[in-house]
Chain A
Amino acid sequence: MTQFTEDSEIDIPQGKQKLGTSRFVIAMSEVRRVSVMVLLTLLVLLALTFFLGRVMPTDPVVAMIGEQADESTYQTVYKQLGLDRPLIVQFGIYVKDIATGNFGLARTTGNPVVEDIKRVLPATMELATLSLILGVFAGVPLGILAAVRRNSAWDHVVRFFSLLGYSIPNFWLGMMALVVFYAKFGWIGGSGRVSIFFIDTVDPVTGSILIDSILARNWYVLGDALRHVIMPALILASGSMAFISRMTRSFMLEQLSQEYVITARVKGLSRVKVIHHAFRNIKVQLVTIIILSYGGLLDGAVLTETVFAWPGFGQYLTAGLMNGDMNAVLACVLLVGIIFVSLNLFADALYRVLDPRTR
């Protein structure tokens, strides 16, 4: 049993201080734990990719020198790339280099990998962000509608389109969209971020052609860029829209069957208010899946980027893989890992902000 003394009151601030200190210590140890976990995850990811890359059948030397070079040229380039060293040494050197921020040169472009990623990532982020916005704005209302009108025609229609979004491959959808909306009707732009004659007509400031064209007040380029981005964004959004709408429906159904909803209905609250209450309670889960689907959009745009010749991260990674450019591949894989881990941590943090019970 706790003994209270006269000093107890004086001890309270000390206790608070101790409590604060111990919270800080706990928080710091949590940060340390998470940091170690993250670093270990990334290191394992890096090691797996590195060693898998080395057993890939494509010889990076041949990819560089072509078919016709002689043996002495082959050996020169082989040594230049450091491939004559033991594998473990190569990995050690690579890890040491990236610890100092040196990701090496991409053999497919001749640029430092970091510079390449700085160039291609904004293109993918532009596409993924727009897709996410479209996915959320379509997916969430549709999910709510499907839940509220469960088993009605609305529910079936939403389910049908969600299933389409899940099951139709993006590359097929992309090609069809190009044939119909680009070639037939001319409503959208073709491949790339802008028409070929508009390339490099606005200065790159942010890397987003939409924002850069607004900053440059070049409305022709803005219009052209919108015509180019809208279809790949819609196609990429179809998957996330399907995912978000199905998850929203599921979360909403769970809430709508809760007692507080029944009570609210019995009390005579309007349907809109009841839905509003239920929706507030799914926000936390919804934010989590939206954040995670953003990660999926960022690294999952490979096929869409290929069909629309979108010079983004996915296309860069694919070219790297096809040419055995392991510096590019490793950096991309590491970046995807970092994005996923960061988004997970971000979702966790948001969870705590939005749901007081988890604090």
Chain B
Amino acid sequence: MFQRLMRLCVVVLMFGVAGCDSGVNRSPADVLGMAANLSSMITLDPAAIAESLTGGIMRNVCEPLLVLNEEDASQVMPGIAERWSVNEDFTIYTLHIRPNLTFPSGNPVTAHDVAWSMSRSLQLNLASSQRLKEWGFSKENIGAMVRAIDDLTLEIRPPKKYSPSLFLYALADYRTTHALDRVEVLSHELDHDLGNDWLTRNTACYGPFRVHTWRAQDVLILERNDEWKRRDNPIRRVVVRHIPEPGMQRLMLEKGDIDLASNLDPSDLNAIEENPNTYLKRTPTFSIIYMAFNRDTPAFSDLRFIKAIRYLIDYDTLAATVLNQVAMVRQAPVPLGMFGALPESFRPFKLDIDKARELLKEAGVVEGYSFELMVPNSSPYPDIAQHLQENLLKVGVEVKIITLSSGHLFTQLRARKFQAYIGGYAFNYPDANNEMLRFGYNPKNSPDNSASVAWRTGWDPGDWFNDTVMKAQMEADPVKREKLYHELQRYYVENSPVVFLFQRLGVRALSRNVLSIKANAVTLSFASAVKKQ
């Protein structure tokens, strides 16, 4: 019996080894295999999605009214709506839904579905509701402001006379204007949850792909939606596997077991470029790396201290080493590629230890002063913190670095229980308004505004700043708008307790099997991928 069992084991193992490189697991031409760290992907409900990776993937599943150009996020293109118009005083946006679109259930995509989905988001008041609230929509006014005129016509009356070039970006955000299959979702409603529980694990959207399988912390499989006929979509299936380790992603890419790796370490990128079977695709993102100081700590309320910090960072060396190929120096608040960004040449600070020492002396910071710096435990934050720690030590200031998981860090930030931190922030639409609202606008300086970096750092930017942010939203003349954002940014850099460091690049490592794929600052278009036949 025992011998038989042993023989069986040997046969099975030999069979397994014989399977090596049998060629059957090579990437098929119509399947895109991708590795990503899916640990933060916890829901498929567009009303509850809170982070950018899921957002980037789900843009391939849930198309909004308008979409951003696949290669240039600043251009707004038709999405579910094939055309749109704005009245003369910018108070009414009329959008015409494409006819004959259907959801996976077979139900038609209508203007009623879009209006209901937007209202649903506000009623649930989950993560995405913020995207509507920041435009002035509320669950009380949404019914009057977003109305389906008929099945294919949607009328949106924004609460303010926003600049059309700005407000169109709101309509191109899938977390704001997605279309959910109302009938299907409501058929799965539990305890008046508007289908939230069901949509956590399922989708009922219209887009180039449909979710075939999703197992959180494991795998996401998308299937081509053959009803989506905007253009040819050669990819039949996308398999996104949860591979948290960047090293593992690299090995799998090099072995040809995946086509695309999305979370590689900077140290792996040179090897990818040198490998004849792989290459890199870089896209600027709207994600920044910054450092912020809590003004509840007395030393940080002196702007000379913050300015000294700006002179204690060797931006270029960091960009060439720990951030090699994954980020570029950006000292202005608004990332490049966004409307209203200051030019690339805006770089007022460079490493100058003597100047920093002088500023600290003026600020009355004594030798041996120390503070705590919190950083997320993921690359590249601890390296940046260490760099600053070394330079601050040269001017007699000691930094205690505390590394935390992102979740723990956010908890501390919301509670304003920190002295200083280094963090990242991803913006979702390419207009400086996005940045100014999140980082600067803080009219009441109250905990109600706990999502704002200005409140978290205890910074009251003053009436001029708050009023100008509101004024810029309404300015129809793009030249004047841009000028206002430039002024706001210069003021911000001079007066806020926030130090801007870098702008991230979206770096995807690809197998040579993938001949081309398009990506913009917020998403990767799976439908645009072309693979070797």
Q: Would you call A159 an interface residue if the criterion is a C-beta within 8 Å of the partner chain's C-beta atoms? A: no
The verdict on A224 contacting B43 (CB below 8 Å), with A187-B20, A307-B245 known, is: no
Alpha-carbon distance A222/B408, docked complex (angstroms): 41
**Inter-chain contacts of B482 with A (CB < 8 A):** none
- Stretch in contact with the other chain, from A106-114, A248-256, A351-359: A106-114
A59 close to B17 (CB less than 8 A)? no
**Inter-chain contacts of A70 with B (CB < 8 A):** 130, 133, 448-451
The verdict on A226 contacting B405 (CB below 8 Å), with A70-B448, A182-B255, A309-B242 known, is: no
B43 close to A195 (CB less than 8 A)? no
Which residue of chain B has its CB nearest to the CB of A319?
B217
Q: Mark A165-192, 1 if CB is under 8 A from B, else 0.
A: 0000000000100110011001110111
Q: Which of A95-123 contact B (CB under 8 A)?
A: 105-111, 119
A71 close to B451 (CB less than 8 A)? yes
A219 close to B33 (CB less than 8 A)? no
A306 close to B414 (CB less than 8 A)? no
Which residue of chain A has its CB nearest to the CB of B259?
A196
B129 close to A199 (CB less than 8 A)? no
Q: Would you call B258 an interface residue if the criterion is a C-beta within 8 Å of the partner chain's C-beta atoms? A: yes
A96 CB, nearest partner CB in chain B, Å: 19
Q: Which of B95-143 contact A (CB under 8 A)?
A: 125-127, 129-130, 133
User: Which of A119, A186, A192, A197 is the most central at the interface, judged by chain B CB atoms within 10 Å of its CB?
Assistant: A197
**Inter-chain contacts of B28 with A (CB < 8 A):** 197
**Inter-chain contacts of B33 with A (CB < 8 A):** 196-197
B242 close to A227 (CB less than 8 A)? no
Alpha-carbon distance A62/B404, docked complex (angstroms): 14
Q: Would you call A200 an interface residue if the criterion is a C-beta within 8 Å of the partner chain's C-beta atoms? A: yes
- Pick from A107, A109, A197, A227: contact of B31, CB under 8 Å: A197
Q: Would you call A76 an interface residue if the criterion is a C-beta within 8 Å of the partner chain's C-beta atoms? A: yes
**Inter-chain contacts of A192 with B (CB < 8 A):** 241, 243
A76 CB, nearest partner CB in chain B, Å: 4
Which residue of chain A has its CB nearest to the CB of B254?
A183
A109 CB, nearest partner CB in chain B, Å: 3
The verdict on A200 contacting B15 (CB below 8 Å), with A58-B408, A107-B42, A195-B257 known, is: no
**Inter-chain contacts of A66 with B (CB < 8 A):** 50-51, 127, 410
- Pick from B21, B245, B414: contact of A74, CB under 8 Å: B414
**Inter-chain contacts of A67 with B (CB < 8 A):** 50, 410, 413, 425, 451
A226 CB, nearest partner CB in chain B, Å: 3
- Pick from B13, B126, B201: contact of A73, CB under 8 Å: B126
A324 close to B407 (CB less than 8 A)? yes
A315 close to B217 (CB less than 8 A)? yes
A209 CB, nearest partner CB in chain B, Å: 12
B130 close to A68 (CB less than 8 A)? yes
A200 close to B244 (CB less than 8 A)? no
Which residue of chain B has its CB nearest to the CB of A123?
B218
The verdict on A183 contacting B245 (CB below 8 Å), with A58-B408, A70-B133 known, is: no
A109 close to B217 (CB less than 8 A)? yes
Q: Would you call A243 an interface residue if the criterion is a C-beta within 8 Å of the partner chain's C-beta atoms? A: no
Alpha-carbon distance A227/B31, docked complex (angstroms): 22
Q: Would you call A268 an interface residue if the criterion is a C-beta within 8 Å of the partner chain's C-beta atoms? A: no
B349 CB, nearest partner CB in chain A, Å: 26
Which residue of chain A has its CB nearest to the CB of B251?
A183
Q: Would you call A12 an interface residue if the criterion is a C-beta within 8 Å of the partner chain's C-beta atoms? A: no
Which residue of chain A has its CB nearest to the CB of B45?
A110
A311 close to B218 (CB less than 8 A)? yes
Alpha-carbon distance A315/B425, docked complex (angstroms): 27
**Inter-chain contacts of B133 with A (CB < 8 A):** 70
Given contacts A70-B450, A227-B19, 6 further A-B contacts (CB under 8 A): A73-B129, A73-B130, A108-B217, A222-B12, A306-B245, A311-B215
* Residues in chain A within 8 A of chain B (CB atoms): 57-59, 62-74, 76-77, 105-111, 119, 175, 178-179, 182-183, 186-188, 190-192, 195-200, 219-220, 222-227, 230, 306-309, 311, 315-316, 319, 322-324
Minimum-distance CB pairs A-B, first 8: A223-B19, A226-B16, A66-B50, A110-B200, A109-B216, A59-B411, A195-B25, A311-B218
The 18 listed contacts between A and B (C-beta, < 8 Å) are A58-B411, A62-B407, A63-B407, A64-B127, A65-B127, A66-B410, A67-B50, A69-B127, A69-B451, A71-B450, A108-B217, A182-B255, A196-B241, A196-B258, A226-B13, A309-B248, A311-B219, A322-B407
